[in-house]
């Protein structure tokens, strides 16, 4: 047991040092995301998730947005999942010439494929999304998202860490690109409840303004 615990601690220490090196290498904005999610299995192939989000920005000092979300997933084949997601945003725009809370909606369509090996559980997700303002004309953001995710198999460790990278390419809008690097840890509270904490570093490549970065700490409580 001591050997197993030491391996866990060494792995977590290495992973956290890797991500923290990105944090302190430059001046970044820290953000906090929180989420409560309810999951409902309609049948063996279809499930529905309803969630409420609250987000902070500018080093946790300013409200960023309130988000209400619904997502439906369909699994036509084993290890293959199709998803459709709809979000409503009440988003705080506190920069530029027009400021204040803005009403927005976003829809996302995705496909996800799982692969299993002796060392890793691997996921690859491809998604298209469009976020549109309800208050301002010609304000939208259409993106393609590509996310590979790896869950590392560690013997006798039920709550395995997941490492992920996600690429965002804005195909219609301000031509923004973004790169997200993260780690996720999930704790099963019981068979119907779970708690997830994530950290990710996000870098934005801008065409018309200066590039910028975010460090995001996310917590999520999920129940059936």
Instruction: State yes or no: pLDDT of 144 exceeds 90.
Output: yes
CA-wise closest residue to 214 among 28, 63, 61: 28
Number of compact structural domains in the chain: 1
- pLDDT range class, residue 1, cuts 50, 70, 90: very low
> Considering only 21-35, 58-72, 125-139, which range has the smallest mean pLDDT?
21-35
175 C-beta neighbours (distance < 10 Å), count: 12
Domain containing 39 — which CATH number?
2.40.160
- 21-32 pLDDT per residue, tens: 444 444 578 999
- 44-60 pLDDT per residue, tens: 999 999 999 999 999 99
pTM given for the model: 0.84
The conformation of residue 145, written as its DSSP 8-state character, comes to E
First to last CA, the chain: 32
Instruction: State yes or no: pLDDT of 120 exceeds 50.
Output: yes
Residues near 135 by Cβ (< 8 Å), separated by ≥ 6? 102, 103, 104
Range of the domain at 139: 2-223
């Amino acid at each position: 047991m001591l050997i197993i615990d030491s391996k866990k601690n060494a792995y977590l220490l290495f992973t956290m040092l890797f991500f923290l090196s990105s944090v302190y290498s430059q001046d970044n904005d820290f953000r906090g995301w929180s989420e409560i999610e309810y999951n409902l299995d309609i049948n063996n192939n279809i499930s529905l998730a309803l969630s409420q989000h609250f987000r902070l920005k500018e080093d946790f000092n300013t409200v960023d947005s309130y988000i209400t979300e619904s997502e439906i997933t369909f699994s036509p084949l084993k290890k293959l999942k199709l998803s459709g997601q709809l979000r409503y945003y009440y988003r705080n725009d506190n920069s530029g010439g027009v400021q204040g809370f803005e009403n927005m909606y976003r829809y996302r369509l995705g496909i996800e494929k799982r692969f299993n090996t002796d060392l890793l559980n691997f996921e690859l997700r491809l998604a298209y999304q469009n976020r549109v303002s309800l208050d301002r004309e010609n304000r939208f953001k259409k993106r393609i998202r590509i996310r590979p995710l790896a869950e590392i198999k560690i013997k006798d460790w039920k709550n395995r860490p997941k490492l992920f990278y996600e690429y965002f390419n804005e195909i219609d809008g301000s031509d923004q690109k973004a790169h997200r690097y993260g780690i996720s840890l999930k704790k099963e509270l019981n068979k119907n409840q779970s708690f997830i904490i994530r950290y990710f570093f996000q870098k934005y490549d801008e065409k018309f303004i200066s590039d910028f970065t975010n460090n995001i700490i996310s917590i999520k409580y999920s129940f059936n």
